[in-house]
């Protein structure tokens, strides 16, 4: 549940990018989420991002945050 923007899936980068905010979330990013709703019959869980994940995306947009990569 990411209501702050419309996110576009960037297949080559395996990421979501906010159309208006330019926030970027990539596969492998660590994120804290809050469980908002559980529908057992449909096997669906609705989650919302907690503050830390939103803050990291905002910092990445502005070029402040750099994630340390581990060697493969």
pTM exceeding 0.75: no
Higher pLDDT, 48 or 64: 48
Phi, psi (degrees; rounded to nearest 5) at 3:
-85, -5
DSSP lists the bridge partners of residue 33 as 49
C-alpha distances (whole Å) from 1 to each of 28, 46, 71 are: 18, 7, 32
pLDDT at 47: 87
Question: Residues 47, 2: contact at Cβ < 8 Å?
Answer: no
pLDDT tier at 72 (50, 70, 90 boundaries)?
Answer: very low
């Amino acid at each position: 549940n990411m209501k702050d923007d419309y996110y576009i899936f960037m297949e080559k980068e395996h990421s979501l990018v906010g159309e208006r905010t330019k926030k970027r979330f990539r596969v492998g990013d660590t994120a804290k989420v809050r469980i908002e709703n559980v529908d057992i019959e449909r096997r669906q869980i609705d989650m919302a991002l907690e503050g830390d994940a939103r803050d990291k995306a905002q910092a990445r947009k502005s070029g402040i945050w750099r994630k340390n990569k581990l060697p493969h």
